[in-house]
Amino acid sequence: MGKNSLEDLKKRARQLGAKEAKIIDAKTVKTAAWVRYKCQFGCDGFGGCLTCPPYSPPPEQTQKILDCYKKAILIYNPGSAKKSISNVAVSLEKEAFFAGFYKTLAMGAGPCMLCKGCNIKGECRHREKARPSMEACGIDVFATVRKNGFQIETLDSYGCQANYFGLVLVE
């Protein structure tokens, strides 16, 4: 892909299937201790796959990782989108790496859906593609996306259209 700029990667995010993509300051990505508690007490996916808590990095470790970066690309898809935001994030991470952003790391949304049943007693079967979600790493997704101009609210039923966000750290 060559030495592409952040702007090129932002465009690529949309071509890869994101409805929206924004270059953001990595400092606007907020971690919080309560996010992990929400996973553990409130989400039936807890412990269900290797990209979710308790296997994914806790907020303190994620904060240390975020501190290694200045910029990130925040990507968004509505629940109706054909391509999952996690798939877009992983593809963009790969392209960013080949473009010279050697530290790039991707995070998606929700649990990993790559296998029918996760191999939680062993090793991940697809390390090249499996990435944790932002929330699984202790990121306050609501605060982060609102800070970057997205308007999202909590949903009051499973019938509502969900919003999915992913993050690709780039440097």
Could you say which residues in the range 141-170 bind ligand SF4, by CB under 6 A? none
Considering the rule CB under 6 A, would residue 125 count as an interface residue with ligand SF4? yes
Question: End-to-end distance of the chain based on CA atoms, in angstroms?
Answer: 16
CB 43 within 8 A of CB 114: no
In which residue are the tokens 């101009």 written?
149
Nearest distance from residue 15's CB to ligand SF4, in Å? Answer: 25
C-alpha separations of 17 from 7, 45, 108 in Å:
16, 25, 13
Considering the rule CB under 6 A, would residue 124 count as an interface residue with ligand SF4? yes
Nearest distance from residue 115's CB to ligand SF4, in Å? Answer: 3
Judged by CB under 6 A, the residue of 50, 73, 88, 169 near ligand SF4 is: 50
Our CB check for ligand SF4 shows the closer of 10 and 110 to be 110
What is the edge-to-edge ordering of all strands in the sheet holding 71-78? 20-25, 71-78, 163-170, 105-107
Considering the rule CB under 6 A, would residue 118 count as an interface residue with ligand SF4? yes
Instruction: Give me the residues that bind ligand SF4 (CB under 6 A), please.
Output: 49-51, 112, 114-115, 118-119, 124-126, 130
